[in-house]
Amino acid sequence: MKKIAILFSVLLCYSCQNFGQLQILADLPKALEEVSGIEIAAKSSLIWMINDSGNKPELFGLNEKGEIIKEIYIRAKNHDWEDLTSDANGTIYIGDFGNNKNKRKNLSIVIVAHNELDEKKAEVDEIEFEYPNQNKFPPKKEERYFDAEAFFYFKKYLYIFTKSRVKDNYGKTTLYKIPAKKGDYVAEIVDEFENCNDFKCAITAADISNDGKKVVLLSQSNVIVFTDFMGDKFLSGKVKIIPLKYPSQKESITFKDNNTVLITDERARASDGNLYQLKID
């Protein structure tokens, strides 16, 4: 009877929630309670996910039912893994650039070659980078724009979107780029954008469609879709805002196809910790 009561309470909790346009595909397993990155990579049938800081350096491959099919130990430290992306060869990039206090000097991106996805323990390369406009670690509170939780791969470059830690300007993001190959780089500033200013407007994930014509940024409150941009000035194109009615800690997004994205949120409540689908057209 106790198990039945618990199950009923969980179902009741779900029924009371308004997920809006978000369609729940799966309840994610406990091993992925703090998902910070999701990616559908070329030459793979799995949906790849990572957890953020405080968790083991592991890469998980799941099916659309939310079942873990593959678990790979990555031979690199998880300082603060925040997002995933991949290239046309199926190489996966892990963004180790979470920087809540804006004082990190070891920002990096872990490179997992496609052939390493067949191993239980993956050997990796790393990219190290720094921001050209950060001079103090940490800077003053009103200048803390150097956290990051979002990036994607496009034409041999990695594009990183910062997350603001500045009060009343949480929605600001600066777009930087670095080469997508092993090395040590100073990032190049490309563009800027300002979402709404509430804390829930901070940018937590990004992706670009396979056809290169759409870019999405994720926050807890909305999905921002950019189209008709020129070159890599992604944030200067047409803008479409999709409000997300269900408030939760959403930290990852990836394109399933050119008109559909997958989103996850961290498990802060019984109704969170899901894999969602959202039509953006």
- E strand or H helix at 35, and its extent? strand 35-40
pLDDT greater than 60 at residue 16: no
Q: Distance between CA atoms of 250 and 271, rounded to whole angstroms?
A: 13
Kindly tell me if the per-residue pLDDT of 5 is higher than 60.
Answer: no
pLDDT greater than 70 at residue 182: yes
* Domain architecture of the chain: domains with CATH: 17-279 (2.115.10.20)
Contact between 213 and 220 under an 8 Å Cβ cutoff? The reply is no
pLDDT digits (tens, 9 = 90+) for 209-252: 999 999 999 999 999 999 999 999 999 989 999 999 888 999 99
Structure confidence at residue 150 (pLDDT): 98
Q: How confident is the model at residue 12 (pLDDT cuts 50, 70, 90)?
A: very low
pLDDT value at residue 95? 98
Tokens of 108: 């990096």
* pLDDT, tens digit, 9 for 90 and up, residues 244-260: 988 899 999 999 999 99
Which pTM does this prediction carry?
0.93
> Rg (Cα) of the chain, in Å, rounded?
18
Give percent of the chain with pLDDT exceeding 70: 93
- Using pLDDT thresholds of 50, 70 and 90, give the confidence band for residue 262: very high
Q: What is the mean pLDDT of the chain?
A: 93
